Structure 1
Amino acid sequence: MELPPIQELHAFQQVAKHLSFSKAAEALSISPSTLSHLIRSLEERLQTRLFNRTTRSVSLTESGQRFFTQVNQVLNHLKGAINNLSAEKDQPQGLVRLSVNEVVAGFVLDKLNADFAAQYPDIELDISVDNHLIDIVSEGFDAGIRLKNTIPQDMIAVSMMTNFRFVTVASKHYVQTYGEPKTPQDLLRHNCLGYKFQSGRRYEWEYKNGNDIQTLRTRGSITTNSPAILLKAVNDNLGIAMIAEPLIRHELESQQLVRLLEPWTIDWPDLYVYFPKNRNMPTALRAVIDALKA
């Protein structure tokens, strides 16, 4: 079969990303009717229906999803190759899409700050916060940020932060009212605010002091999959929580929150930025990765 024209493939990529003909047409700077013609021509050429369309929604068919996973990667590689041709004479520019979880979103912004924006004024960042593990290639992201042990093996991973720890904290008011736990077992007498995984399982709190390792199934009045809700509940004096240290750096420095069980700690896997193996990496993505690993 003869390869479809690049215009048709690019049109398909944008509609698949946006799941909207109007938004895709705007992104391509063409009319919706021209876009519809390109998609219809591609489907006829491939003899395959790629989208399910109604007056209210657009979705990929099963065949369309498989096609998008492969075509999206190819087109991104092609775009990267073209961008790299002018890398020596042009300032890094373009859109860089990052997938991060809520725990590290603030830390990412600390790295990609005003100084970064001033150095690279032509780089646009699209930072998507999602606590679910996703396939960054099929979802159209350039890179993701996760703990090392959750990254697919076929990705390139670059260390972004070592000794990424979760710490046990409570507000001063809570400690003054209910007392301070001295050992992990003391937590069983406190209101421990819990975090649940995507599967719905509540996280078990783990502690280590020398050779003594303890794992607790704590209980509390609130369980959530949102670190932001967990942090607000702690600040509102509702109980004790285990929260990622970077997320509460300011609260700890201002002593708004109190560290508990200091001798009892467990280091988590390092935090990494990861991305697909791509010999022609866009210069904008390279600038972002360099800033994150600095």
Structure 2
Amino acid sequence: MNTPLSHANSRVKEARKLSRRSVRTERRLFLADGPKAVEGALTVPDCVVEVFATVTAAEQYADLLDAAPQVWLVEDRAMELLSDSVTPAGVVAVCRFLDVTLDEVLATSPQLVTVCADVRDPGNAGTVIRTSDAAGAGAVVLAGHSVDPYNPKTVRASVGSLFHLPVILADDPAAAVQALQAAGLTVLAADGAGEVDLFDAELAPATAWLFGNEAWGLPDELAALADHRVSIPIHGCAESLNLATAAAICLYASARAHR
């Protein structure tokens, strides 16, 4: 191990710049904050470039850090600059982008896929990735003007799941829907005004769930491309469900049907 680096160290400063999307895109690197994220990153070959850890965290997560290609001890103040968390866990990894295309995923014949169109909130995106992983989905597609999956808040909210399943970026949501259908998946649009009640739906063996923006949902022209629009029944007085909750209900309905 090395002498702890200060917040003024050039290596710390360069890693800190990865909090900006423009720098991440240019360097094709991002930060994974926390032991679960770092553990997940270390399971992906050649993903982790280096790890920064406080002295305390290096002792606490010694077994984890043994698998890292390079570990730098840092002072607590330096970790505060690197971590997006209010209370840093003390370990942050610099990781390479996880490049995967929709065609590559479809070649594996996934039975459950999550598609998010124009989802802007990084916490929601990370939670949907985590939920998709838990439900056994084969991939998550972030389509249109969705949040960067390598946003620190998205990575942290995924709690390591970003490294467990493919997360695909698709510029054109409509093209993504059509590609999924061409591959044999039934695309279901989660829509509060949908004509099919989720609890009455016969869910196909191969399904892609389509979710829209947190505030305005799915555009009509995109929802119209789906095979069916499915609504989640609301029995109380709530106006609607938030994105992450709706995604969890729909994905687990499919997971239950598949099993």
TM above 0.5 = no
Higher RCO structure, 1 or 2 (CA under 8 Å, sep 6+): 1
Taking structure 1 as the reference length, the TM-score comes to 0.27
Taking structure 2 as the reference length, the TM-score comes to 0.30
Structure with larger Rg? 1
